[in-house]
Protein backbone atom coordinates (compact mmCIF):
# COMPACT_ATOMS: atom_id res chain seq x y z
CA UNK A 1 0.00 0.00 0.00
CA UNK A 2 1.36 3.42 -0.89
CA UNK A 3 2.30 5.92 1.79
CA UNK A 4 -0.31 8.41 0.66
CA UNK A 5 -3.06 5.80 0.73
CA UNK A 6 -2.14 4.93 4.33
CA UNK A 7 -2.24 8.62 5.23
CA UNK A 8 -5.65 9.08 3.63
CA UNK A 9 -6.94 6.10 5.58
CA UNK A 10 -5.43 7.33 8.83
CA UNK A 11 -7.04 10.74 8.63
CA UNK A 12 -10.35 9.20 7.58
CA UNK A 13 -10.40 6.59 10.35
CA UNK A 14 -8.44 7.81 13.38
CA UNK A 15 -9.43 10.60 15.76
CA UNK A 16 -7.81 13.93 14.99
CA UNK A 17 -6.17 14.13 18.46
CA UNK A 18 -4.17 10.96 17.77
CA UNK A 19 -2.57 12.46 14.67
CA UNK A 20 -1.30 15.37 16.75
CA UNK A 21 0.28 13.20 19.47
CA UNK A 22 3.81 11.81 19.64
CA UNK A 23 4.45 8.33 21.05
CA UNK A 24 5.93 8.20 24.56
CA UNK A 25 9.66 8.05 23.88
CA UNK A 26 11.96 5.85 25.96
CA UNK A 27 15.70 6.32 25.40
CA UNK A 28 17.77 3.26 24.45
CA UNK A 29 19.85 2.49 27.53
CA UNK A 30 21.98 -0.34 26.10
CA UNK A 31 25.47 -0.21 27.59
CA UNK A 32 24.75 2.70 29.94
CA UNK A 33 24.67 2.96 33.71
CA UNK A 34 20.91 3.35 33.82
CA UNK A 35 19.76 6.15 36.11
CA UNK A 36 16.90 7.47 33.99
CA UNK A 37 13.74 5.57 34.87
CA UNK A 38 13.34 5.30 38.68
CA UNK A 39 14.11 1.59 38.70
CA UNK A 40 15.36 -0.19 41.80
CA UNK A 41 18.98 -1.08 40.92
CA UNK A 42 19.08 -4.24 43.03
CA UNK A 43 18.23 -7.79 41.98
CA UNK A 44 17.15 -10.57 44.31
CA UNK A 45 19.82 -12.65 46.07
CA UNK A 46 20.67 -15.86 44.16
CA UNK A 47 18.95 -18.27 46.55
CA UNK A 48 15.70 -16.29 46.33
CA UNK A 49 16.00 -16.20 42.55
CA UNK A 50 16.38 -19.99 42.54
CA UNK A 51 13.26 -20.59 44.59
CA UNK A 52 11.37 -18.09 42.43
CA UNK A 53 12.37 -20.03 39.28
CA UNK A 54 11.34 -23.26 40.99
CA UNK A 55 7.93 -21.78 41.81
CA UNK A 56 7.43 -20.55 38.22
CA UNK A 57 7.56 -24.19 37.03
CA UNK A 58 4.04 -24.66 38.31
CA UNK A 59 2.63 -21.82 36.17
CA UNK A 60 0.35 -23.24 33.50
CA UNK A 61 1.17 -21.14 30.46
CA UNK A 62 -1.39 -23.00 28.34
CA UNK A 63 -4.21 -21.70 30.56
CA UNK A 64 -5.59 -18.19 30.85
CA UNK A 65 -4.64 -16.50 34.11
CA UNK A 66 -7.16 -16.00 36.91
CA UNK A 67 -9.15 -13.09 35.42
CA UNK A 68 -9.65 -11.50 38.82
CA UNK A 69 -6.18 -12.32 40.18
CA UNK A 70 -7.96 -13.29 43.40
CA UNK A 71 -4.91 -14.48 45.31
CA UNK A 72 -2.74 -11.43 44.57
CA UNK A 73 -5.69 -9.16 45.28
CA UNK A 74 -6.24 -10.75 48.68
CA UNK A 75 -2.54 -10.48 49.58
CA UNK A 76 -2.38 -6.80 48.61
CA UNK A 77 -5.55 -6.03 50.58
CA UNK A 78 -4.03 -7.73 53.62
CA UNK A 79 -0.71 -5.94 53.21
CA UNK A 80 -2.32 -2.51 52.89
CA UNK A 81 -5.01 -3.27 55.51
CA UNK A 82 -7.81 -2.36 53.11
CA UNK A 83 -11.01 -2.31 55.17
CA UNK A 84 -14.54 -3.37 54.27
CA UNK A 85 -16.33 -1.05 51.86
CA UNK A 86 -13.16 -0.73 49.79
CA UNK A 87 -11.86 -2.76 46.89
CA UNK A 88 -8.82 -2.77 44.65
CA UNK A 89 -8.45 -3.11 40.91
CA UNK A 90 -5.20 -4.30 39.32
CA UNK A 91 -3.65 -2.87 36.19
CA UNK A 92 -0.85 -3.84 33.82
CA UNK A 93 1.18 -1.10 35.49
CA UNK A 94 -0.56 1.89 37.04
CA UNK A 95 -0.39 3.42 33.57
CA UNK A 96 -3.17 1.03 32.58
CA UNK A 97 -5.21 2.13 35.58
CA UNK A 98 -4.89 5.75 34.50
CA UNK A 99 -6.17 4.63 31.10
CA UNK A 100 -9.11 2.69 32.61
CA UNK A 101 -10.14 5.66 34.76
CA UNK A 102 -10.06 8.03 31.82
CA UNK A 103 -11.86 5.61 29.48
CA UNK A 104 -14.78 5.69 31.89
CA UNK A 105 -15.30 9.45 31.46
CA UNK A 106 -17.78 11.04 29.04
CA UNK A 107 -16.17 12.68 25.95
CA UNK A 108 -16.74 16.22 27.24
CA UNK A 109 -15.05 15.52 30.59
CA UNK A 110 -12.11 17.50 31.87
CA UNK A 111 -9.03 16.16 33.67
CA UNK A 112 -6.87 18.29 35.98
CA UNK A 113 -3.39 17.89 37.40
CA UNK A 114 -0.76 20.33 38.58
CA UNK A 115 2.22 21.05 36.31
CA UNK A 116 4.88 19.74 36.16
CA UNK A 117 3.73 16.25 37.05
CA UNK A 118 3.59 12.73 35.60
CA UNK A 119 3.22 13.03 31.82
CA UNK A 120 0.90 10.04 31.36
CA UNK A 121 -2.07 11.94 32.87
CA UNK A 122 -1.89 14.32 29.93
CA UNK A 123 -0.79 11.77 27.32
CA UNK A 124 -3.69 9.38 28.03
CA UNK A 125 -6.23 12.22 28.37
CA UNK A 126 -5.23 13.56 24.98
CA UNK A 127 -5.22 10.14 23.33
CA UNK A 128 -8.84 9.73 24.46
CA UNK A 129 -9.83 13.19 23.29
CA UNK A 130 -10.47 14.51 26.80
CA UNK A 131 -9.91 18.08 27.84
CA UNK A 132 -6.72 18.21 29.95
CA UNK A 133 -6.10 21.21 32.18
CA UNK A 134 -3.17 21.95 34.44
CA UNK A 135 -2.44 24.46 37.15
CA UNK A 136 1.20 25.39 37.74
CA UNK A 137 2.96 24.39 40.94
CA UNK A 138 4.65 27.09 43.00
CA UNK A 139 8.11 27.86 41.65
CA UNK A 140 11.06 26.68 43.79
CA UNK A 141 9.09 24.69 46.37
CA UNK A 142 7.07 22.84 43.70
CA UNK A 143 4.23 22.72 46.21
CA UNK A 144 0.60 23.01 45.15
CA UNK A 145 -0.59 26.50 44.33
CA UNK A 146 -3.83 25.97 46.22
CA UNK A 147 -5.65 29.12 45.00
CA UNK A 148 -4.72 28.20 41.40
CA UNK A 149 -5.93 24.61 41.87
CA UNK A 150 -9.19 25.77 43.47
CA UNK A 151 -9.75 28.30 40.69
CA UNK A 152 -9.17 25.59 38.05
CA UNK A 153 -11.60 23.30 39.89
CA UNK A 154 -14.27 26.04 40.06
CA UNK A 155 -13.82 26.97 36.40
CA UNK A 156 -13.43 23.56 34.74
CA UNK A 157 -15.23 21.19 37.14
CA UNK A 158 -12.80 18.33 36.42
CA UNK A 159 -14.16 14.79 36.52
CA UNK A 160 -10.79 13.54 37.76
CA UNK A 161 -7.86 15.26 39.46
CA UNK A 162 -4.49 13.46 39.57
CA UNK A 163 -2.07 14.30 42.40
CA UNK A 164 1.24 12.41 42.43
CA UNK A 165 2.37 12.07 46.06
CA UNK A 166 5.42 12.32 46.02
CA UNK A 167 5.35 14.15 42.71
CA UNK A 168 7.27 13.08 39.61
CA UNK A 169 9.50 14.73 38.30
CA UNK A 170 9.99 17.08 41.26
CA UNK A 171 10.28 14.50 44.08
CA UNK A 172 8.47 16.53 46.76
CA UNK A 173 5.40 15.71 48.81
CA UNK A 174 2.60 18.25 48.38
CA UNK A 175 1.19 19.81 51.52
CA UNK A 176 -1.26 17.23 52.91
CA UNK A 177 -3.73 19.88 54.11
CA UNK A 178 -3.82 21.42 50.61
CA UNK A 179 -4.60 17.98 49.16
CA UNK A 180 -7.48 17.58 51.63
CA UNK A 181 -8.86 20.99 50.65
CA UNK A 182 -8.70 19.93 46.99
CA UNK A 183 -10.46 16.62 47.71
CA UNK A 184 -13.23 18.54 49.49
CA UNK A 185 -13.57 21.08 46.68
CA UNK A 186 -13.46 18.53 43.84
CA UNK A 187 -16.80 17.82 42.12
CA UNK A 188 -15.41 14.47 40.90
CA UNK A 189 -12.74 11.91 41.76
CA UNK A 190 -9.29 12.67 43.17
CA UNK A 191 -6.58 10.09 42.49
CA UNK A 192 -3.62 10.31 44.86
CA UNK A 193 -0.88 8.53 42.87
CA UNK A 194 1.52 6.97 45.38
CA UNK A 195 3.99 5.40 42.92
CA UNK A 196 6.87 6.48 45.21
CA UNK A 197 5.26 5.52 48.52
CA UNK A 198 8.06 3.02 49.34
CA UNK A 199 10.48 5.98 49.61
CA UNK A 200 8.21 8.45 51.39
CA UNK A 201 6.90 8.39 54.89
CA UNK A 202 3.47 9.58 53.85
CA UNK A 203 0.28 8.18 52.38
CA UNK A 204 -3.40 8.93 51.89
CA UNK A 205 -4.34 5.26 52.30
CA UNK A 206 -5.63 5.96 55.81
CA UNK A 207 -7.77 8.84 54.54
CA UNK A 208 -9.90 6.66 52.24
CA UNK A 209 -12.64 6.38 54.83
CA UNK A 210 -12.88 10.17 55.18
CA UNK A 211 -13.58 11.06 51.53
CA UNK A 212 -16.03 9.30 49.19
CA UNK A 213 -14.27 10.72 46.10
CA UNK A 214 -10.70 9.69 47.04
CA UNK A 215 -8.83 6.91 45.23
CA UNK A 216 -5.26 5.84 46.06
CA UNK A 217 -3.03 4.35 43.35
CA UNK A 218 0.12 2.31 43.94
CA UNK A 219 2.57 0.33 41.78
CA UNK A 220 5.19 -2.35 42.26
CA UNK A 221 7.37 -0.74 39.59
CA UNK A 222 9.43 1.71 41.61
CA UNK A 223 9.65 -0.75 44.50
CA UNK A 224 11.70 -3.13 42.37
CA UNK A 225 9.40 -5.00 39.98
CA UNK A 226 9.17 -2.62 37.02
CA UNK A 227 9.49 -5.53 34.58
CA UNK A 228 6.35 -7.24 35.90
CA UNK A 229 3.94 -4.35 35.23
CA UNK A 230 1.59 -4.38 38.20
CA UNK A 231 -0.22 -1.41 39.65
CA UNK A 232 -3.39 -1.10 41.70
CA UNK A 233 -6.05 1.37 42.65
CA UNK A 234 -7.88 1.38 45.98
CA UNK A 235 -11.28 2.99 46.44
CA UNK A 236 -14.92 2.60 47.37
CA UNK A 237 -16.23 -0.79 46.21
CA UNK A 238 -18.97 0.79 44.07
CA UNK A 239 -16.43 2.86 42.10
CA UNK A 240 -14.02 -0.06 41.62
CA UNK A 241 -16.94 -2.22 40.43
CA UNK A 242 -17.64 0.22 37.60
CA UNK A 243 -13.97 0.28 36.54
CA UNK A 244 -13.96 -3.51 36.44
CA UNK A 245 -16.41 -3.31 33.52
CA UNK A 246 -13.73 -1.55 31.48
CA UNK A 247 -10.80 -3.71 32.56
CA UNK A 248 -9.89 -6.39 30.02
CA UNK A 249 -10.49 -9.79 31.63
CA UNK A 250 -6.94 -11.18 31.62
CA UNK A 251 -4.95 -7.99 32.03
CA UNK A 252 -2.62 -9.46 34.66
CA UNK A 253 -0.70 -12.41 33.18
CA UNK A 254 -0.03 -15.56 35.17
CA UNK A 255 3.74 -14.98 35.50
CA UNK A 256 3.09 -11.56 37.03
CA UNK A 257 0.44 -12.95 39.37
CA UNK A 258 2.69 -15.77 40.56
CA UNK A 259 5.74 -13.54 40.90
CA UNK A 260 3.97 -10.84 42.87
CA UNK A 261 2.59 -13.47 45.26
CA UNK A 262 6.15 -14.73 45.69
CA UNK A 263 7.51 -11.19 46.14
CA UNK A 264 4.91 -10.33 48.79
CA UNK A 265 6.13 -13.35 50.78
CA UNK A 266 9.66 -11.91 50.61
CA UNK A 267 8.78 -8.29 51.25
CA UNK A 268 11.68 -7.96 53.72
CA UNK A 269 14.02 -7.84 50.69
CA UNK A 270 12.25 -4.78 49.33
CA UNK A 271 12.17 -3.09 52.71
CA UNK A 272 15.92 -3.54 52.99
CA UNK A 273 16.56 -2.37 49.40
CA UNK A 274 14.37 0.71 49.67
CA UNK A 275 16.06 1.67 52.95
CA UNK A 276 19.43 1.44 51.22
CA UNK A 277 18.13 3.60 48.36
CA UNK A 278 16.87 6.23 50.84
CA UNK A 279 20.30 6.35 52.53
CA UNK A 280 21.96 6.75 49.13
CA UNK A 281 19.46 9.51 48.26
CA UNK A 282 20.68 11.50 51.27
CA UNK A 283 24.32 11.02 50.29
CA UNK A 284 23.60 11.96 46.67
CA UNK A 285 21.77 15.14 47.75
CA UNK A 286 24.67 16.18 50.01
CA UNK A 287 27.12 15.66 47.15
CA UNK A 288 25.00 17.55 44.61
CA UNK A 289 24.69 20.59 46.91
CA UNK A 290 28.46 20.87 46.95
CA UNK A 291 28.89 21.03 43.17
CA UNK A 292 29.15 24.65 42.05
CA UNK A 293 26.22 25.69 39.85
CA UNK A 294 24.09 22.65 40.73
CA UNK A 295 20.93 23.04 42.79
CA UNK A 296 19.25 19.80 43.84
CA UNK A 297 15.65 19.81 45.10
CA UNK A 298 14.79 17.82 48.25
CA UNK A 299 13.24 14.47 47.37
CA UNK A 300 10.93 11.93 49.01
CA UNK A 301 11.25 9.58 46.03
CA UNK A 302 14.03 7.43 44.52
CA UNK A 303 15.28 10.22 42.27
CA UNK A 304 16.54 13.78 42.59
CA UNK A 305 15.67 16.70 40.33
CA UNK A 306 18.42 19.28 39.99
CA UNK A 307 18.89 22.60 38.26
CA UNK A 308 21.98 23.31 36.18
CA UNK A 309 23.37 26.76 35.21
CA UNK A 310 21.28 28.68 32.63
CA UNK A 311 21.13 26.99 29.21
CA UNK A 312 23.66 24.33 30.21
CA UNK A 313 21.32 21.36 30.82
CA UNK A 314 21.58 19.78 27.36
CA UNK A 315 25.38 20.05 27.28
CA UNK A 316 25.70 18.63 30.79
CA UNK A 317 23.24 15.82 30.01
CA UNK A 318 25.20 14.90 26.87
CA UNK A 319 28.57 15.10 28.62
CA UNK A 320 27.31 12.75 31.35
CA UNK A 321 25.97 10.40 28.68
CA UNK A 322 29.30 10.39 26.86
CA UNK A 323 30.81 9.17 30.12
CA UNK A 324 28.43 6.20 30.08
CA UNK A 325 25.70 7.37 32.46
CA UNK A 326 22.10 7.84 31.30
CA UNK A 327 19.88 10.20 33.31
CA UNK A 328 16.77 12.13 32.24
CA UNK A 329 16.79 15.51 30.55
CA UNK A 330 13.69 17.49 31.50
CA UNK A 331 14.92 20.90 30.36
CA UNK A 332 13.14 20.62 27.00
CA UNK A 333 9.81 20.79 28.85
CA UNK A 334 10.69 24.39 29.69
CA UNK A 335 8.87 26.51 32.25
CA UNK A 336 9.71 25.43 35.78
CA UNK A 337 11.75 22.52 34.40
CA UNK A 338 14.04 24.71 32.27
CA UNK A 339 17.68 23.77 32.99
CA UNK A 340 16.54 20.73 35.00
CA UNK A 341 17.86 17.16 34.92
CA UNK A 342 16.69 14.17 36.95
CA UNK A 343 18.81 11.34 38.29
CA UNK A 344 17.48 8.07 39.69
CA UNK A 345 19.22 6.77 42.82
CA UNK A 346 21.23 3.66 41.90
CA UNK A 347 23.82 1.48 43.62
CA UNK A 348 26.61 3.35 45.46
CA UNK A 349 29.11 2.73 42.63
CA UNK A 350 26.59 3.91 40.00
CA UNK A 351 25.88 7.06 41.97
CA UNK A 352 29.60 7.70 42.29
CA UNK A 353 30.06 7.25 38.52
CA UNK A 354 27.24 9.75 37.93
CA UNK A 355 28.67 12.31 40.36
CA UNK A 356 32.14 12.01 38.81
CA UNK A 357 30.66 12.45 35.34
CA UNK A 358 28.61 15.46 36.48
CA UNK A 359 31.62 17.13 38.10
CA UNK A 360 33.62 16.70 34.87
CA UNK A 361 30.67 17.98 32.82
CA UNK A 362 30.30 21.10 34.98
CA UNK A 363 33.76 22.52 34.65
C1 LIG B 1 6.31 5.64 37.20
C2 LIG B 1 5.03 6.26 37.58
C3 LIG B 1 3.82 5.63 37.34
C4 LIG B 1 3.69 4.43 36.44
O5 LIG B 1 3.98 3.28 37.01
P6 LIG B 1 3.71 1.88 36.32
O7 LIG B 1 3.01 1.13 37.37
O8 LIG B 1 5.07 1.36 36.01
O9 LIG B 1 2.87 2.07 35.09
C10 LIG B 1 2.65 6.21 37.81
N11 LIG B 1 2.68 7.40 38.44
C12 LIG B 1 3.83 8.06 38.65
C13 LIG B 1 3.79 9.36 39.36
C14 LIG B 1 5.04 7.51 38.22
O15 LIG B 1 6.16 8.21 38.39
pLDDT tens string 97-108:
999 999 999 999
How does pLDDT run across 122-175, given as a tens digit for each residue? 999 999 999 999 999 999 899 999 999 999 999 999 999 999 999 999 999 999
DSSP 103-114: HTS-TT-EEEEE
Minimum-distance ligand 1 atom for the alpha carbon of 118:
13
Minimum-distance ligand 1 atom for the alpha carbon of 219:
7
Q: What angle do CA 95, 206, 88 make, to 5 degrees?
A: 40
CB-ligand 1 contact for 113 (6 Å cutoff): no
Minimum-distance ligand 1 atom for the alpha carbon of 164:
13
| Strand ranges in 237-339 using DSSP code E only, listed in sequence order | 295-296, 303-307, 325-326, 328-329
Q: Out of 161, 193, 194, 227, give the residue to mutate to test ligand 1, the one with the largest number of ligand atoms within 8 Å of its CB.
A: 193
DSSP 166-187: S-TTT-PPPPHHHHHHHHHH-S
CA 34 to ligand 1 centroid distance, Å: 17
CB-ligand 1 contact for 36 (6 Å cutoff): no
Ligand 1, atom 2: nearest CA belongs to which residue?
195
Q: What is the pLDDT of residue 90?
A: 98
CATH of domain 26-44+268-362: 3.90.1150.10
Q: What is the pLDDT of residue 134?
A: 96
| Strand ranges in 80-182 using DSSP code E only, listed in sequence order | 86-91, 110-115, 131-136, 160-164
CB-ligand 1 contact for 164 (6 Å cutoff): yes
Is the pLDDT higher at 63 or at 20? 63
CB-ligand 1 contact for 39 (6 Å cutoff): no
Contact 301, 168 (CB under 8 A): yes
CB-ligand 1 contact for 95 (6 Å cutoff): yes
**What average pLDDT does this structure show over 193-203?**
97
Strands across the sheet containing 303-307: 295-296, 303-307, 340-344, 328-329
Q: What is the domain class of 62-264 according to CATH? A: alpha beta
Please check the confidence at residue 92 and state whether its pLDDT lies above 70. yes
CA 338 to ligand 1 centroid distance, Å: 22
Please check the confidence at residue 363 and state whether its pLDDT lies above 80. no
Q: Which residues pair with 236 in a beta bridge?
A: 86
Please check the confidence at residue 227 and state whether its pLDDT lies above 70. yes
Minimum-distance ligand 1 atom for the alpha carbon of 98:
10
Q: Out of 91, 94, 123, 252, give the residue to mutate to test ligand 1, the one with the largest number of ligand atoms within 8 Å of its CB.
A: 94
Please report, for the chain, the start and end positions of each structural domain, with discontinuous segments joined by +: 26-44+268-362, 62-264
Give backbone dihedrals phi and psi of 113, rounded to 5 degrees, phi first: -150, 155
**What average pLDDT does this structure show over 233-255?**
97
Supply the mean pLDDT for the chain: 96
CA 18 to ligand 1 centroid distance, Å: 22
CB-ligand 1 contact for 355 (6 Å cutoff): no
Ligand 1, atom 14: nearest CA belongs to which residue?
195
CB-ligand 1 contact for 231 (6 Å cutoff): yes
Q: Which residues contact 284 (CB under 8 A, 6 or more apart)?
A: 296, 304, 343, 345, 351, 355
CB-ligand 1 contact for 114 (6 Å cutoff): no
Minimum-distance ligand 1 atom for the alpha carbon of 91:
7
CB-ligand 1 contact for 93 (6 Å cutoff): yes
How does pLDDT run across 4-39, given as a tens digit for each residue? 899 999 999 998 888 888 888 888 899 999 999 999
CA distance 322 to 101: 40
**What average pLDDT does this structure show over 52-81?**
96
**What average pLDDT does this structure show over 247-260?**
97
Provide the pLDDT confidence category of residue 1 given band limits of 50, 70 and 90: low
Q: Out of 99, 118, 204, give the residue to mutate to test ligand 1, the one with the largest number of ligand atoms within 8 Å of its CB.
A: 118
CA distance 320 to 200: 28
Minimum-distance ligand 1 atom for the alpha carbon of 117:
13
Q: What is the pLDDT of residue 19?
A: 87
Please check the confidence at residue 87 and state whether its pLDDT lies above 90. yes
CA distances from 339 to 136, 167, 300, 328 (A): 17, 18, 21, 12
How does pLDDT run across 280-317, given as a tens digit for each residue? 999 999 999 999 999 999 999 999 999 999 999 999 99
Q: What is the pLDDT of residue 2?
A: 75
Amino acid sequence: MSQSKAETLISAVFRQEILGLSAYHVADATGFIKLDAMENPYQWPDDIKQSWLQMLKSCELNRYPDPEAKHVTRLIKEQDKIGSGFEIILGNGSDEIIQMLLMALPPEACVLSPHPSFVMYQQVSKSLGLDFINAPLLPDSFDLDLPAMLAAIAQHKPSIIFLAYPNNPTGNLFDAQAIKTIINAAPGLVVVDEAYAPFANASFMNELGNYANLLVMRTFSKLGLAGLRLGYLVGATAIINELNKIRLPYNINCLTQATVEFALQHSDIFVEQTQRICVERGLMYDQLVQIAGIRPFPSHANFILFKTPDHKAVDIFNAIKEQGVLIKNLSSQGGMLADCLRVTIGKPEENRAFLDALKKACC
